[in-house]
Amino acid sequence: MKVIRTLTADAVVEINRLVCTDGGNRHHCYAVGKVESALHSAFYPGVYPFQHGGIARVAGALCFYLTQAHAFYDGNKRTALIASLTSLDFNGWSIEYPLDVDGKTAVADLIERCADGKVTRDEMIEWWDQHKVKVK
């Protein structure tokens, strides 16, 4: 069985705290259960290759679920991105993407559209899978 490293709900809450503190914003987690649900949904059924496929696809699902969860007062999108990138990094992967799409990075544009309900879970997963790179 392949072993991968995953984030805990506490780690995601800490990411949000750091994101908010760094931006001078208020940190508040409305419900840690929303974070736990996003993690569970992304990593279900709990063994590799998971419901969504490889680790990049799981990271895409995690980004989608955390963005949609609105578990925090502020920093939901930034937290989703950092948590997803951290999951990839823990397991030897990263993503590469165009730096500019209408004045935003491609990943920022994707997450903004996700938060607005304009990106489906499957579209998010596919984007992450198409932009994954193995870290050397």
The domain that contains 123 carries what CATH number?
1.20.120.1870
pLDDT tens digits, residue range 78-122?
A: 999 999 999 999 999 999 987 776 767 889 899 999 999 999 999
pLDDT recorded at residue 110 = 93
Q: Where are the beta strands (DSSP E) in the chain?
A: 93-95, 132-134
**What b/e string do you get for 58-94 counting C-beta neighbours within 10 Å, with b at 16 or more?**
bbbbbbbbbbbbebbeebbbbbbbbbbbbbbeebebe
Does 3 fall in a domain? no
Asked if pLDDT for residue 65 goes beyond 80, the answer is: yes
Half-sphere exposure of 136 (CA within 13 A, CB side): 0
Max distance between CA atoms of the chain, in angstroms, equals: 43
pLDDT recorded at residue 69 = 96
pTM above 0.75, yes or no: yes
Does 40 fall in a domain? yes
Asked if pLDDT for residue 31 goes beyond 90, the answer is: yes
Does 58 fall in a domain? yes
HEC string of 54-75 equals CHHHHHHHHHHHHHHHCCECCC
Does 4 fall in a domain? no
Rounded to the nearest integer, the mean pLDDT of the chain is: 90
The pair phi, psi for residue 66, each rounded to 5°, is: -70, -40
Does 2 fall in a domain? no
pLDDT recorded at residue 105 = 83
What is the percent of the chain with per-residue pLDDT over 70, rounded to a whole number? 89
Does 79 fall in a domain? yes
Does 74 fall in a domain? yes
pLDDT band at 54 (very low <50, low <70, confident <90, very high): confident
Asked if pLDDT for residue 49 goes beyond 70, the answer is: no
Does 22 fall in a domain? yes
Determine if the peptide bond prior to 98 is cis (ω within 30°): no
- What is the domain count for the chain? 1
Segment 19-34 shows an average pLDDT of 95
Domain housing 122 = 9-134
